[in-house]
Structure 1
Amino acid sequence: MALTLALAALAVVLVFAVVRPHRWPEAVVAVPAAALLIGLDVISVDEALAEVQRLLPVVGFLAAVLVLARLCADEGVFRAAGAVMARTAGSSQNRLLAMVFVIAAATTAILSLDATVVLLTPVVLAMARLLQVPAAPHAYATAHLANSASLLFPVSNLTNLLAFATAGISFLHFTALMSLPWLAAIAVEFVVLRWVFRRELATPPVVESHAEIHLPVFALAVLGATLAGFVVTSMLGFSPAWAALGGVIVLGTQSLVRRRSTPSHLLSAADVPFLVFVLCLGVVVDAVMVNGLGDAMQGVLPDGTSLPALLGIAAVAAVLSNLVNNLPAVLVLLPLVAASGPAAVLAVLIGVNIGPNLTYVGSLANLLWRGVVRRDLTAGPVEFSRIGLCTVPATLVLSVVGLWAGVQLFGG
């Protein structure tokens, strides 16, 4: 009965998060669901508090990165990126797609997948209208890279932050192990999407005179310093969240002084309701785990860290992501593979980051992207999954092979 109640609560929370009627925050259902499970003793107060305490540093880090991304947008970083893409396209859409890939991959890696979906994708759509080219190849590039290009840094995705905390390795070690999977994922996505959209890409851009590119030098310098700070704080044994907070303070102070932002604007950028949703979702998933799902999943996952085992772990993670969304999937799987070491943890991460390109249900970023592109192209669930089926299998396999090679090179 306890497991049935926990699974029902998880299903309700996930369905509400996917549908979001009247665009209500996900926390509207997640908070009472977690409270109900505690009240019915499906999960004890102590267990719920322990899960919240485990997630709090991750959620705090996420809040800082979200605010940093919004500040970069206010300072014109994404407008400059759009101008660079339009200027360098020339008469070739293939060159334009390559530039979209470079900027989307960098944005996802440094500022998280939410920045790519919410802040960069509208710029890419506007650029496609300006150049009078089909938007689909470039929009799907941002959708896919928001997921698959989020493998590189611990800060690139909420799932990464959770895996980073579980793996027990340094920022640099994490990045070294995930560099080959990241490069493999981007390369496969580029080759396959270029083939899928070969007809749309045959349309040459309309070359017009474009406005001057104004690079936000100060914002870019703060971003670079923040990224270096992630490495330094990790080496010194501190949380990289302190580096993110430093970037927010420096860039936020300038933005407030110049009146490009307001305190309320920055608070809204932190998306407090979503942070509360993450904490409550963690409690709901933990209730499912302690009441039997953990034991059941343990029998499905391969043992060890050989290449076949890593491929199996990533495949299970990818499938589970498309059944219940990647955030619950990573919360379910990480405790089960933690004892096997960082390689198994990162195999889960590859599965939950690349797998969501198969269906809209796979990640919340997919649902955000669907809302962003709705006015510019038809992107139904069948079309989204058709394109995902072209990219996900090869991307998943080659990324896991890259992880296995990284473990041989860097240890893990």
Structure 2
Amino acid sequence: MSVQLVVGLVLIAICLAAAVVRPFGLSEAVVAVPCAALALITGASHLSTAEHSVRELGPTVAFLAAILAFGRLCAAAGVFDYLGSVTAHASHGVPKRLLVLVVGFAAVVTATLTLDATVVLVTPVVLATARRLHVPNRPHSYACAHIANSGSLLLPVSNLTNLLAFTASGLSFGRFAAAMTLPWLLACALDWAALRLAFRRDLTSTAAEVPPVLAAPRYALAVLALTVAGFVLTTAVGLAPAWAALAGCVALAVPQLPARKGRGVPRTHPPLTVPEMVLGASPGFCAFVLCLGVLVAGVLSNGIQAGLSHLIPSGTGLAALLGLALLAAVLANLVNNLPTTLALLPLVTGSPLAVLAVLVGVNLGPNATYPGSLATLLWRRSLPPPDRPRAVEFHRLGLISTPVLVCTVTVALWLVAGPLRLR
């Protein structure tokens, strides 16, 4: 193992640890940027490799920044307060029923709008709902994080890892969705069962009174609906969905500008200032993502990918698929699921079933730990400090439930492979 490879692995570990702990409340970029610079200085990553990584991740990070800003603007327009009141009313104040609603809502949003939308848009709805009902929010908040990962199995557009796997698999959109429908349903159901069991005490209370539904912020809801439609349309015509998110940001930002204060679109929150809108895009977190990509690209180019080839099981039998999925899950929790996907897919290209097994591992595996996926890190970061779970609590639940989830869903994938002729 070369010195450059060791340095790269250590720098990745430092970045991920800083993202989880966030010492002194500092942005992840405070650690990630110097680590990326040190990697270039020491040769752990080369300038050409770093440039290629930034170009490759650029569209993804642009979408991430736009969707984060869009979520912040939706919150300022009262969208989450309204949707929270609707959800609270539909649950009749029963936490068990609310958990079912949250899991179903998050699964649909994740499948159609990407897991980032669930983390950014659905989580605030859930927190607002729990506050309005005066019930514990832990099971419902956890559902957003877990379903953001588990619910992203269904469609090629649900997750960046899916887009990469879709390209590598050679499957059509319809065959991809058909192959992942049963695994997706099973993953969401098992996650619900795990949360139902783990938080059974939090789910015993009942709200004394269900608050009425708030007045709808019609303009903001219309912009939200059009933005969602824009995600679908831009993907269909080959444009980056970041353009749709950016258009939504502009439409929501205009009524917030100081010149329009007190007139135009009604609002339930104080208007945002321009600096607040910029900070809503979380530039520090976006910089962290780019720096992590630079570090991982360097590690892959220094021999890790060649070493991984010896760990890939041969064949597409059940044992081989389980080995692939578990390997992907373990690596995702060690170095994050995006770099794991980039490292493993070239090693299984040519076998659609093996590609989908890797996808099961990189999408479900991150439920075990915070560093497993950017969505989980983003979920934790977006929670108000009082609502952030302790790392021990989060990891205990994830490490117990995730291996069962990965293995069971992989078996489901193996079962549907025969009828769909994926082998």
Is the counterpart of residue 354 in structure 1 residue 397 in structure 2?
Answer: no
Q: How many residues matched?
A: 409
**Superposition CA RMSD, Å:** 3.4
Pick which of 177-186 and 366-375 moved more.
Answer: 366-375
Q: Match of 2:311, SS?
A: coil
**Separation in structure 1 between the aligned mates of residue 82 and residue 418 of structure 2, nearest angstrom:** 37
Q: Is the 8 A contact 1:193 1:391 kept in 2?
A: no
**Separation in structure 1 between the aligned mates of residue 10 and residue 410 of structure 2, nearest angstrom:** 33
Q: 1:22 aligns with which of 21, 24, 29?
A: 24
**Separation in structure 2 between the aligned mates of residue 285 and residue 13 of structure 1, nearest angstrom:** 11
- Provide structure 2 residue ranges, at least 5 long, that are not aligned to the other structure: none
What is the identity, as a one-letter code, of the residue corresponding to 1:384?
F
What is the identity, as a one-letter code, of the residue corresponding to 2:60?
V
Give 1:403 deviation, angstroms: 4.7
Instruction: Sort the Cα spacing of 1:144 and 1:155 in 2 relative to 1 into closer, same or farther, 3 A.
Output: same
- The 5 A counterparts of 1:13-412 are 13-90=15-92, 92-109=94-111, 112-114=114-116, 116-117=118-119, 120-153=122-155, 156-157=158-159, 159-160=161-162, 163=165, 177-208=179-210, 210-253=211-254, 256=257, 258=265, 260-303=271-314, 305=316, 307-337=318-348, 339-340=349-350, 343-367=353-377, 369-370=379-380, 372=383, 375-376=386-387, 379-401=389-411, 403=413, 405=416, 409=420
Q: Match of 1:207, SS?
A: coil
What is the identity, as a one-letter code, of the residue corresponding to 2:141?
A
**Separation in structure 2 between the aligned mates of residue 128 and residue 281 of structure 1, nearest angstrom:** 35
Q: Is the 8 A contact 1:75 1:216 kept in 2?
A: yes
Q: Is the 8 A contact 1:159 1:349 kept in 2?
A: yes
Q: Is the 8 A contact 1:65 1:111 kept in 2?
A: no
**Separation in structure 1 between the aligned mates of residue 172 and residue 230 of structure 2, nearest angstrom:** 13
**Separation in structure 2 between the aligned mates of residue 324 and residue 101 of structure 1, nearest angstrom:** 27
Pick which of 151-160 and 319-328 moved more.
Answer: 151-160
**Separation in structure 1 between the aligned mates of residue 391 and residue 287 of structure 2, nearest angstrom:** 28
**Separation in structure 2 between the aligned mates of residue 384 and residue 315 of structure 1, nearest angstrom:** 20
Q: Match of 1:201, SS?
A: coil
Instruction: Sort the Cα spacing of 1:92 and 1:59 in 2 relative to 1 into closer, same or farther, 3 A.
Output: closer
**Separation in structure 1 between the aligned mates of residue 96 and residue 347 of structure 2, nearest angstrom:** 43
Q: Is the 8 A contact 2:54 2:293 kept in 1?
A: yes
Instruction: Sort the Cα spacing of 1:366 and 1:241 in 2 relative to 1 into closer, same or farther, 3 A.
Output: closer
Q: Is the 8 A contact 1:153 1:174 kept in 2?
A: yes
Q: Is the 8 A contact 1:68 1:244 kept in 2?
A: yes
Instruction: Sort the Cα spacing of 1:134 and 1:35 in 2 relative to 1 into closer, same or farther, 3 A.
Output: closer
**Separation in structure 2 between the aligned mates of residue 219 and residue 154 of structure 1, nearest angstrom:** 28
Give 1:101 deviation, angstroms: 1.8
TM-score normalised by the chain length of structure 2: 0.81
Give 1:288 deviation, angstroms: 0.9
Show CA shifts across 1:94-120 (max 9, x none). 212212223333444455545544554
Q: State percent identity of aligned pairs.
A: 50
**Separation in structure 2 between the aligned mates of residue 231 and residue 305 of structure 1, nearest angstrom:** 33
**Separation in structure 2 between the aligned mates of residue 408 and residue 203 of structure 1, nearest angstrom:** 45
Q: Is the 8 A contact 2:169 2:350 kept in 1?
A: no
Q: Is the 8 A contact 1:170 1:234 kept in 2?
A: no
Q: 1:11 aligns with which of 10, 13, 31?
A: 13
Give 1:189 deviation, angstroms: 1.4
Instruction: Sort the Cα spacing of 1:117 and 1:175 in 2 relative to 1 into closer, same or farther, 3 A.
Output: same
Q: Is the 8 A contact 1:285 1:332 kept in 2?
A: no
Give 1:122 deviation, angstroms: 4.9
**Separation in structure 1 between the aligned mates of residue 101 and residue 161 of structure 2, nearest angstrom:** 26
Instruction: Sort the Cα spacing of 1:336 and 1:361 in 2 relative to 1 into closer, same or farther, 3 A.
Output: same
**Separation in structure 2 between the aligned mates of residue 236 and residue 122 of structure 1, nearest angstrom:** 31
Give 1:26 deviation, angstroms: 1.9
Pick which of 219-228 and 69-78 moved more.
Answer: 219-228
Q: Is the 8 A contact 1:176 1:406 kept in 2?
A: no
What is the identity, as a one-letter code, of the residue corresponding to 2:216?
L
What is the identity, as a one-letter code, of the residue corresponding to 2:129?
M
Q: Is the 8 A contact 2:111 2:152 kept in 1?
A: yes
